[in-house]
Structure 1
């Protein structure tokens, strides 16, 4: 559904109209299927936490958001599309680097990366592209450090990931990018087996692959999933969050003020107010479910767009306004239930460090163009701004 002209940070008005109508409504997808759209926060949480609801996209009735995913879902099994023992087994393997304690140990490195990029921004020419010079490289460098993927290769894998996740790219082009990424990661795994380092990929290769707990295909897909999810959504949040604050200078004062909720609370509100995951959480019922006066039958698809769950007035009064003093702890940006984002502690750390430092060190940061001149990405899995010229 298209967003309203001049309101790039708000959900599509059509979604809000459906939320007003009912907590569950039928919608029609590209393939003619008619899954349920779940429009309200309470029902989204209830269904995301229900064992009768599955994220497994091999289940009949799963509501794919594109033909490419529908045609390639059997070989491209991602962690977010698994259930039961298989999901738990793989999730446990990657959990250790993303515990709050381990993530906390990364804070000095993240602070150094952020400060270096602020230094480079201030020393460079004006206007500067905030996305290319700041928002994108920071989370990319961090996830490369955690995984053990060479940051020097970022131009290659960022282009390939962007191609792979875009709805507007022909299937054969997306397939070539998928194969290129697969080969790249398979070669990298081979190098880690020969010369392991202190990173997650080395750990998985030597402790899980070498012992047979993982096969090579599973490891490639797991690392690909972490590489995609570990930098694209955080980069979009850095750019969109900065844009939202520039458009609401009173909230910058709250962020910097001693009487504010602190940067952690501010980040929760930014996560509630903005949305980077575009197609909504996709699920399918594996048994009959009665909820909100509706019967969802086994085999019927579900779409749960968190952008309107996070704008539900029943949970967040005045939801259409950005208010950094709000308690937004119930926001759904990282999902809910057993599939809640494993890497959320790392994403939170990066966002807290960025927004804690950026406006303190660059208090005169401003857009160098009008809002209507910014190009937004709405053709893929993630929503964001492509370029954002800024001055200071």
Structure 2
């Protein structure tokens, strides 16, 4: 008798909104590598274990390029025929490496540390406005979304006055329910916007990342379309992921006041950095699954993945693997969580992770110290979680102090 293949189900339990989907957890308990069934009837491999996650994402025999047959996790991806701008994150080496090198310069340790003081000023300014405004307030709108939007705007050279435009189109792109046409139109809108800004930087360079990309276009190192693709990626990923992490992380801390106190009361940068990594591990907001396709036969977790077969790699179960993180369902800010895979692993891991970490290291302590009585202003059951997003978080977070 053939064992039925479980459907791919990332629906989190309303009663446990910080934990991975129950169905995904159960499949992970049964095997670190197994089959799953997608909406279109296809049955790619599902990789849920931590060691297997790292192994497959480090294997040069897998491809990330959609044209090679990576799984499509929802109908919107299958309907989408428009790629507004090429993105290096959807390319394999050596082309991926060539383009990635041109983006990493903005995220070196030295560059990110230079942004720490300006980020602190942005955070303090937003906290001033929050305190001066209505109480209760929506922390997403008043703090979590503006902070990374302002930081990435300054880094890229994008006018923050256009934030409503780029935030609205970003929301369409990450919503699972968006059709391919909607997602394509939003991507084209962002690409057209960045192309216009790039043209301005070509004519009048400034001290920002778009100007640096424009200089590479002038030097013939990048095509204009490639530069636009990088700009779209940095603008989109640079505010959406961190904004969701600030809001969801704050909510998790409010639900664990003893952990919040540890972070609020420490002035040790190592303690704060460790706390941020634990929050990244515990929450794993990138919960849509990383898609790959095998280019050759690969042995993984006791299974043979054949050439041409699709693979879905799951971050959130790898981050709750008890063989790596004892008592993984507990939020413990003293834990050494540096082995988490929230930013992915291997050559395609998040290029802006150092910037995200820095922003979180500044945002959480500043918020908790400025508002030591911060609390939810709504029942947990009434908070709208982003169950429909590729990036997990909350749409609103009513708070009081």
The question of 1:371 aligning with 2:367 is answered no
Which residue matches 2:182?
173
Contact 1:269–1:323 under 8 Å retained in 2:
yes
The question of 1:210 aligning with 2:241 is answered no
Which residue matches 1:191?
200
Q: Distance in 2 between matches of 1:150 and 1:15?
A: 41
| Structure 2: runs of 5 or more not aligned | 1-8
Which residue matches 2:22?
13
Cα deviation, 1:280-299, whole Å, max 9, x if unaligned, reads 11111111011221000111
Which residue matches 2:6?
none
Which residue matches 1:263?
272
The secondary structure found in structure 1 opposite 2:67 is: coil
| TM-score, scaled to structure 1 | 0.96
The secondary structure found in structure 2 opposite 1:390 is: strand
Which residue matches 1:126?
135
Cα deviation, 1:63-115, whole Å, max 9, x if unaligned, reads 12234434437665322211112101111111111001110011110010011
Which residue matches 1:59?
68
Cα deviation, 1:237-290, whole Å, max 9, x if unaligned, reads 000100000000010122234598610000010000002112111111111011
Structure 1 residues 73, 285: closer, same or farther in 2, change over 3 A? farther
Matched pairs, number: 390
Contact 1:57–1:73 under 8 Å retained in 2:
no
Which residue matches 2:362?
353
| TM-score, scaled to structure 2 | 0.94
| 1:316 aligned to which of 310, 321, 325 | 325
Which residue matches 2:191?
182
Structure 1 residues 37, 290: closer, same or farther in 2, change over 3 A? same
Cα offset, 1:172, TM superposition: 2.9
The question of 1:224 aligning with 2:225 is answered no
| Greater displacement, 343-352 / 171-180 | 171-180
Which residue matches 1:246?
254
| Structure 1: runs of 5 or more not aligned | none
The secondary structure found in structure 1 opposite 2:304 is: strand
| 1:307 aligned to which of 308, 316, 320 | 316
Which residue matches 1:32?
41
Q: Distance in 1 between matches of 2:101 and 2:337?
A: 28
| Runs of 4+ in structure 1 over 4 Å off | 73-76, 257-261
| 1:201 aligned to which of 203, 210, 213 | 210
Equivalences for 1:332-347 in 2 at 5 Å? 332-347=341-356
Which residue matches 1:274?
283
Which residue matches 1:330?
339
The question of 1:114 aligning with 2:123 is answered yes
Supply the RMSD in Å over aligned alpha carbons.
Answer: 1.5
Q: Distance in 2 between matches of 1:327 and 1:41?
A: 15
Contact 1:289–1:296 under 8 Å retained in 2:
yes
